[in-house]
Structure 1
Amino acid sequence: MPNPHQAFDALPATPSRDTRAALIAACGVERRDPVRRAILLHPTDFVLREGDRAVITGPSGSGKSVFLRTLALLDPVDAGRILWRGEPIARARVPTYRRQVAYIAQRPAMLDGSVEDNLRYPFSLKVYRDLRFDRATVARLAAAASRGDDFLDKRASELSGGEAQIAALIRVLQLAPDVLLLDEPTASLDPDSAREIEALVGAWAAEAPARARIWISHDPAQARRVGNRQLTMVAGTLSEALSHEGTP
Structure 2
Amino acid sequence: MSAATVDSASGRSPLLVVENLGRRLQQDWIWQNIQLRLDAGDRLAIMGPSGVGKSLLLRAIAGLDPIQAGHIHFLGKSLSDWSMPRYRSQVLYLHQRPALWEGSVEANLQQVFLLHQHRRRGYQRQRILQYLRLLNRDETFLDRPSSMLSGGERQITAFLRGLQLDPMILLLDEPTASLDPESTASLETLVQNWQADNPQRAYLWVSHDAEQRQRMTQRAFQLRGVANAK
Q: TM-score, normalised by structure 2?
A: 0.92
- Pick the aligned partner of 1:177 from 154, 167, 176: 167
* Aligned AA (2:25): D
Deviation at 1:237, TM superposition (A): 9.0
> Following the alignment from structure 1 to structure 2, what is the Cα–Cα distance between the partners of residues 162 and 193?
8
2:210 pairs with 1:210: no
- Pick the aligned partner of 1:14 from 8, 12, 16: 8
- Pick the aligned partner of 2:17 from 12, 15, 25: 25
Deviation at 1:232, TM superposition (A): 2.3
Q: Which moved more, 1:150-159 or 1:222-231?
A: 150-159
Q: Judge conservation of contact 2:93–2:170 (CA < 8 Å) in 1.
A: yes
Q: Which moved more, 1:90-99 or 1:200-209?
A: 90-99
Q: Judge conservation of contact 2:92–2:162 (CA < 8 Å) in 1.
A: yes
Q: Judge conservation of contact 1:187–1:218 (CA < 8 Å) in 2.
A: no
Higher relative contact order (CA 8 A, sep 6+): 2
Q: Percent identity?
A: 41
Q: Judge conservation of contact 2:23–2:32 (CA < 8 Å) in 1.
A: yes
Deviation at 1:217, TM superposition (A): 0.3
Q: Which moved more, 1:206-215 or 1:185-194?
A: 185-194
Change beyond 3 A, Cα 1:229–1:238: farther
* Aligned AA (1:163): E
Q: Judge conservation of contact 1:141–1:203 (CA < 8 Å) in 2.
A: no
2:76 pairs with 1:82: no
- Other-structure match for 2:35: 45
Q: Judge conservation of contact 1:63–1:236 (CA < 8 Å) in 2.
A: no
* Aligned AA (1:30): G
- Map 1:94-243 → 2, pairs under 5 A: 94-235=84-225
Q: Judge conservation of contact 1:55–1:223 (CA < 8 Å) in 2.
A: yes
Deviation at 1:95, TM superposition (A): 1.9
* Aligned AA (1:48): L
Deviation at 1:7, TM superposition (A): 4.2
> Following the alignment from structure 1 to structure 2, what is the Cα–Cα distance between the partners of residues 236 and 124?
42
After the TM superposition, which segments of 4 or more aligned residues of structure 1 sit over 3 Å from their partners? 236-239
> Following the alignment from structure 2 to structure 1, what is the Cα–Cα distance between the partners of residues 226 and 142?
40
Q: TM-score, normalised by structure 1?
A: 0.86
Question: Which string of whole-angstrom CA distances, capped at 9 and with x for unpartnered residues, describes residues 93-144 of structure 1?
Answer: 2221112110000011122111100100110111111210010111111111
Deviation at 1:56, TM superposition (A): 1.3
Change beyond 3 A, Cα 1:131–1:148: same
Unpaired stretches in structure 1, ≥5 consecutive residues: 240-248
Q: Which moved more, 1:85-94 or 1:62-71?
A: 85-94
Q: Which moved more, 1:187-196 or 1:132-141?
A: 187-196
The number of equivalent residue pairs is 229
- Other-structure match for 2:2: 5
